Amino acid sequence: MNKKITHWIFWILVLGGILLGISVFSLCVGSVGIPIKKIISIILQGRGTTEYSILFDIRLPRIILGFAVGGALSLAGVILQGMFRNPLVEPYTLGISGGAALGVCLNIVLRLHRAFGILTLPLFGFLGAAMVILLVYSLSIRKGVLKIQGLLLTGVMLSFISSSLIMLIMAISRTEDLHGIVFWIMGSLEEPNWLLIKVVLLVSMFLLVISYLFCFDLNALSLGEEEAMHLGINTERTKRLLFIIASLLTGFSVSVAGIIGFVGLIVPHFVRMFVGSDHRVLLISSFLCGGSFLIFCDTLARTIIAPMELPVGVITGILGGCLFVYALTKKQVVLGEK
C-alpha cells in the first residue's frame, strides 16, 4: 500500500479514536458523575431513571450537536481557506454569523419565539445568514465572474454592519431580552429538540460528502486560479459551489448553536501539521477534529464551575486564541505549508 495512503488512514483512525474517547468522557462527566461501567446497565434498565435521562436527554444531544457543528465549522474553514489561499480566513469572515445573529436578535426583541415557538430562533438565524449569503454573492459577482477578494472584503464589511446593528438592538432592548441575546451570541449547545439536532447532523454529513467531490478542485485552487484553469478546472463554477457549501455549513451551525468562534480557523491549521495540505484527507480529518474540539470545549464549559454553565463560545475563544498564538510561532502552520 502507498505510504501516503497508509499515513492518511492512520491519522483518520487516530482522530476517530480521539473523537470516540472525548465523546465517552463527555457522557460520563458533569454535575452528576456516571462511571463508564455503569452506562451499559443504565441502557439495559431503559427509561424511567434519573441517570438515563441525564445521559440521553441532556448529554448525548449535546455531544451529537457538538460533533455536527464543530465538524461543519471546521469543514467550512478548510473550504474557504482553500478557495482564498489564505489560512487566516474562517467561516465567520464572510459575515454569515453576523447575519444569523442579527436575525435571532430581531426575533428575541420582537418576541416572536414566545408567540410562535422556540424553533423560530434557528429559523430566523438561518434566514439572516441566507440574506447575507445572497447579498455577499450578488455584490461580489461581476459579469459572471466571482471576485474572490471582493467576496472577502464585502463579507468583512457586512459583518461590521451586522455587529453595529446588533449593538444598537442591545442598547434599546429590554433587560430580559438583553440576557437572551448575549447568551445566544456567546454560543451554546443546549438544544433539547431532537428533530433540529438530526437535521443539523444530516446536513453537515451530507455536505461533507458533497465537499469531498471537490477535493481535487481545492488542491488545484490552492496552486492559484490560473494553474487550476490549466489543469482543466472550471474555476468559476467551482468557486460558486464551494461558496454555497461553506455558507450552508456556517449558516446551519450558527442558526442552531450561536456564534462559536475559532473552530473553523484553528482546527484546519493544526490538522495540516499532521496530515498535510492534501484535501483528500484534510476535509475528513478536519471534520473529525473539529467535532472532537467542540465536544471537549462544551464539556469544559459545563463542568468548570458546575452546576453553573459557561457559554461554549467563551471556552473556544480562550482555547482557540491560545492555540493560535502558539500556531503563529510555527511558520509552516500559518502559511499552510506541509
Q: What are the start-end ranges of the H helices in the chain?
A: 3-28, 36-45, 50-53, 60-84, 96-110, 112-116, 120-140, 148-172, 175-185, 194-212, 215-221, 225-230, 235-257, 263-275, 279-303, 312-328, 331-334
Q: Which of 246, 155, 261 is nearest to 203 (CA)?
A: 246
* pLDDT digit string, tens, across residues 5-24: 888 899 999 999 999 999 99
Burial class (CB in 10 A: 0-12, 13-18, 19+), 251: buried
Query: Quick one: pLDDT band at residue 134, thresholds 50, 70, 90?
Result: confident
The domain segmentation of the chain, as residue ranges, is 3-334
Q: Which three cell numbers stand for residue 270?
A: 493544526
The dihedral region occupied by 86, where left means phi > 0, alpha psi between -120 and 50, and beta the remainder, is: beta
With a threshold of 0.85, does the pTM exceed it? Answer: yes
pLDDT at residue 281 in the model = 92
* pLDDT digit string, tens, across residues 51-90: 778 888 888 999 999 999 999 999 999 998 888 887 778 8
Q: Which of 299, 253, 104, 127 is nearest to 182 (CA)?
A: 104
Query: Quick one: pLDDT band at residue 299, thresholds 50, 70, 90?
Result: very high
Mean pLDDT on 229-255 = 85
Q: Is the pLDDT of residue 205 over 60?
A: yes
Q: Please provide the size of the chain in residues.
A: 338
In sequence order, what are the residues at sequence separation of 6 or more whose Cβ sits closer than 8 angstroms to the Cβ of residue 97? 91, 129, 159, 250, 254, 259
Unique residue bearing C-alpha cell 471582493: 150
Mean pLDDT on 249-257 = 85
Q: Which CATH architecture has domain 3-334?
A: Orthogonal Bundle (1.10)
Is 281 within 8 Å of 275 (Cβ atoms)? yes
